[in-house]
Amino acid sequence: MHASHFDRSAAKPELYETLARSLDALIGDEPDALANLSNAAALIWEALPDINWAGFYVLRGGELVLGPFQGRPACVRIAMGKGVCGTAAANRETLVVPDVQKFPGHIACDEASRSEIVVPLIANGNLVGVLDVDAPNANRFDDDDRAGLERVAALLAQKVRWERI
Ligand code: SME
């Protein structure tokens, strides 16, 4: 069931298809949010080439709080509207930042990050967190990444029991 067979050189749509199917299989009927977000972070980390951080911030008490991730230790709390994560969360819209050095208010957790994509997680109409992926190169994320990661976010939003994280 575990996918260590990602062909990282595959075209992006194919790669994201494999990623979505693997995640779906890995979740199965498990509703636990912590477990599923942990596996999702690990799977994204394994599947995608040229990234240096992949993980989640969950909404707690009106703030984004660090959740399961892969990569270097990161900022623990991000206020709504702050940084790339807080902006995507406040607008409830995916945000692709081609060059973080040109994004006013970007929060630099890892100096190595140059581009970033943040996808809000919306479950039953409520914002429950964000999925954040960082890359060491500028312009790493395009519309294929947006579509692929929005699919991952939608899967998690639907299948996870969010009230228990
Ligand atoms: N760069 C993000 C902060 C989170 S880290 O990249 C893991 C931001 O500006 O919101």
Q: Which residues in the chain come in under a pLDDT of 50? A: 3
Spatial distance between the Cα atoms of 149 and 119, rounded to a whole number of angstroms: 7
Whether 152 is in the pocket of ligand 1, judged by its Cβ within 6 Å, is no
Give the Å distance between the CA of 57 and the centre of ligand 1: 10
* Among 56, 72, 82, 85, residue to substitute to test ligand 1 (most atoms within 8 Å of Cβ): 85
> Which DSSP state fits 117?
E
Tracing tokens 């940084």 back to the chain, one arrives at 83
Rounded to the nearest angstrom, the gap between the alpha carbon of residue 84 and the centroid of all alpha carbons in its chain is: 12
pLDDT of the residue at 72 = 96
Is the model's pTM score more than 0.75? yes
pLDDT of the residue at 109 = 87
Write down the mean pLDDT value for the chain.
95
pLDDT tens profile 40-82: 999 999 999 999 999 999 999 999 999 999 999 999 999 999 9
Give residues with Cβ within 8 angstroms of 92, minimum separation 6: 120, 122, 127
Contact in structure between 74 and 109 (CB atoms under 8 Å): yes
Give the Å distance between the CA of 109 and the centre of ligand 1: 6
Phi-psi region of 46 (alpha: psi -120 to 50; beta: other; left: phi over 0): alpha
